[in-house]
């Protein structure tokens, strides 16, 4: 891959390669866009098979955070990091401290948090070397695990999507099929169960299935069955790319609203479900609760204030549908438009010189 061509095509600012022989650290930090503020996004630890796979992933995820943060109304830019390694085998204090020192070297242009394969305990180790890390243990005045807050945001966004589809945002009596009942979806299921929804769940991890069945009276189905079950709402909370040529013909739901990142395999699949009349809550809008929560730490963490901001996901979903209807486009495109317009207008408003270090000269 020609990295500079790709960076130029999507206007990336910076890609940082980090190597530390002692700890075995091989990491890449991507800063996509800092028009709105410092780049904030989690660190993914994954056993990438090739370096190219890791580079493609960090670039794609970093750009996704720019859109997520902008659409959420945060004064935060987009970035992400990946550590190449197996999270079950290759974690050590030495490795996370070495990584923390690289983050410190960026002097606040990039701020990290949890993502797939990393935990609060890992953030605590990074925090030994840098303050530019969020999602650290609450004992340090930080916000801890973002997953329950992500789940709350998905719950609020799902209610908004239900209002658009059914004319009422009540989820009582609705049948909701949840794919993957891990950290986020377990907490989501709790909210849905408390409101009186009927749950159908699946997971490749039987323990997680059993937990949802026992705690919330969920009905369990096989991993391939979940797409075609009779339900009102399908909630993808496991993997990306699950809205695709194979699954679309199976869907019986009227709404798709879940936590997973990058749910559309390709943009055309967003157009297809739009044409079928499904209400689709764009992934990066509905799952922004976690980043909204960790971003609050930059003002001195206040959980009440963070949750209030997470509540706005409800209105954001409604707003995206207003744009989609106004401009005659699918909801995923309307979300992109909303994020891009906000970034462009802030960039325009910063075209005069100010002696306070806040002016960002982008172009």
Ligand X SMILES: CC(C)C[C@H](N)C(=O)O
Tell me which residues are annotated as active site.
80
Per partner kind, with CB cut-offs from 5 to 8 A, the member of ligand X, ligand NAD, none near residue 92 is none
Whether 290 has a binding-site annotation, put simply, is: no
The owner of tokens 């801890």 is 144
List, in sequence order, the alpha helices (H) in the chain: 3-9, 51-71, 93-105, 120-127, 147-166, 183-195, 206-216, 267-275, 283-286, 289-295, 303-327, 331-349
Residue 277 gets the label, from left (phi > 0), alpha (psi -120 to 50) or beta, of left
Cβ at position 331, least distance to ligand NAD in Å = 18
Residue 161: which of 250, 261, 256 has the closest Cα? 256
Cβ at position 293, least distance to ligand X in Å = 7
How many degrees, rounded to 5, is the angle at CA 30 between CA 354 and CA 360?
A: 10
Q: Is 291 in the site for ligand X (CB under 6 A)?
A: yes
Cβ at position 261, least distance to ligand X in Å = 5
Q: How far is Cα of residue 262 from the mean position of the Cα atoms in its chain?
A: 9
Distance CA 43, CA 103 (A): 11
Mark the segment that binds ligand X (CB under 6 A) among 176-184, 227-235, 245-253, 287-295: 287-295
Neighbours of 107 (CB within 10 A): 10
187, 208, 261, 263: residue in contact with ligand X (rule CB under 6 A): 261
Mark the segment that binds ligand NAD (CB under 6 A) among 10-18, 100-108, 237-245, 300-308: 237-245
294, 320, 338, 343: residue in contact with ligand X (rule CB under 6 A): 294
Residues 6+ apart with CB under 8 A from 251: 227, 228, 234, 273, 276, 278
Q: Is the dihedral of CA 236, 334, 155, 122 positive or negative?
A: positive
Q: Is 147 in the site for ligand NAD (CB under 6 A)?
A: yes
β-pair partners for 179: 202, 236
Instruction: Judge contact between 178 and 141, C-beta under 8 A.
Output: no
Residue 85 gets the label, from left (phi > 0), alpha (psi -120 to 50) or beta, of left
Nearer to ligand X among residue 113 and residue 201 (C-beta): 113
Per partner kind, with CB cut-offs from 5 to 8 A, the member of ligand NAD, ligand X, none near residue 34 is none
Whether 182 has a binding-site annotation, put simply, is: yes
Residue at shortest CB range from ligand NAD = 182
Write the binding mask 341 to 360 for ligand NAD: x where contact by CB under 6 A, - elsewhere: --------------------
Q: Is 41 in the site for ligand X (CB under 6 A)?
A: yes
Nearer to ligand X among residue 85 and residue 289 (C-beta): 289
Per partner kind, with CB cut-offs from 5 to 8 A, the member of ligand NAD, ligand X, none near residue 294 is ligand X
Nearer to ligand X among residue 171 and residue 237 (C-beta): 237
Question: Under rule CB under 6 A, how many of the chain's residues touch ligand X?
Answer: 13
Q: Which residues within the stretch 202-231 sit at the binding site for ligand NAD (CB under 6 A)?
A: 202-205, 208, 223
Cβ at position 145, least distance to ligand X in Å = 9
Residue 103: which of 78, 135, 130 has the closest Cα? 130
Cβ at position 287, least distance to ligand X in Å = 6
Return the half-sphere exposure (C-beta side, CA atoms, 13 A cut-off) of residue 297.
24
Q: How far is Cα of residue 208 from the mean position of the Cα atoms in its chain?
A: 21
Mark the segment that binds ligand X (CB under 6 A) among 164-172, 223-231, 286-294, 349-357: 286-294
Per partner kind, with CB cut-offs from 5 to 8 A, the member of ligand X, ligand NAD, none near residue 204 is ligand NAD
Cβ at position 78, least distance to ligand NAD in Å = 14
Distance CA 250, CA 236 (A): 14
Nearer to ligand NAD among residue 185 and residue 279 (C-beta): 185
Distances 234 to 37, 69, 212 between C-alpha atoms, Å:
34, 25, 16
Report the binding-site residues for NAD(+). 180-185
Q: Residues in the site for ligand X, rule: CB under 6 A? A: 41-42, 68, 113-115, 135, 146, 261, 287, 290-291, 294
């Amino acid at each position: 891959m020609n990295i500079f061509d790709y960076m130029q095509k999507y206007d990336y600012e910076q890609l940082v390669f980090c190597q530390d022989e002692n700890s075995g650290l091989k990491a890449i930090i991507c800063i996509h866009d800092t028009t709105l503020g410092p780049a904030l996004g989690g660190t993914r630890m994954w056993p990438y098979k090739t370096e190219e796979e890791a580079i493609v992933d960090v670039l794609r995820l970093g750009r996704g955070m720019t859109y997520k943060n902008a659409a959420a109304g945060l004064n935060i830019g987009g970035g992400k990091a990946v550590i190449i390694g197996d999270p079950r085998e290759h974690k050590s204090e030495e490795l996370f401290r070495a990584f923390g020192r690289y983050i410190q070297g960026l002097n606040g242009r990039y701020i990290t948090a949890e993502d797939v394969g990393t935990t609060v305990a890992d953030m605590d180790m990074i925090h030994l070397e840098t303050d530019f890390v969020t999602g650290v243990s609450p004992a340090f005045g930080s916000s801890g695990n973002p997953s329950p807050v992500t789940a709350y945001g998905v719950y609020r966004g799902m209610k908004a999507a239900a209002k658009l589809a059914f004319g009422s945002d009540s989820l009582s009596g609705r049948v909701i099929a949840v794919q993957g009942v891990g950290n986020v979806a377990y907490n989501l299921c709790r909210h849905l169960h408390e409101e009186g929804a009927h749950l159908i769940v699946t997971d490749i991890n039987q323990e997680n299935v059993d937990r949802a069945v026992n705690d919330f009276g969920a009905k369990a189905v096989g991993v391939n069955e979940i797409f075609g079950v009779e339900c009102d709402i399908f909630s993808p909370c496991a993997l990306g790319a699950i809205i695709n040529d194979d699954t679309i013909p199976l869907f019986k739901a009227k709404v798709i609203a879940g936590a997973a990142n990058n749910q559309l395999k390709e943009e055309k699949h967003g157009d297809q479900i739009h044409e079928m009349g499904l209400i689709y809550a764009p992934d990066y809008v509905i799952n922004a609760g976690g980043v909204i929560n960790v971003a609050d730490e930059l003002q001195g963490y206040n959980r009440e204030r963070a949750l209030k901001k997470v509540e706005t996901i409800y209105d954001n979903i409604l707003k995206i549908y207003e744009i989609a209807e106004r401009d005659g486009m699918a909801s995923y495109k309307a979300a992109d438009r909303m994020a891009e317009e906000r970034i462009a207008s802030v960039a325009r408003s910063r075209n005069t010189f100010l002696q306070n270090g806040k002016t960002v000269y982008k172009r």
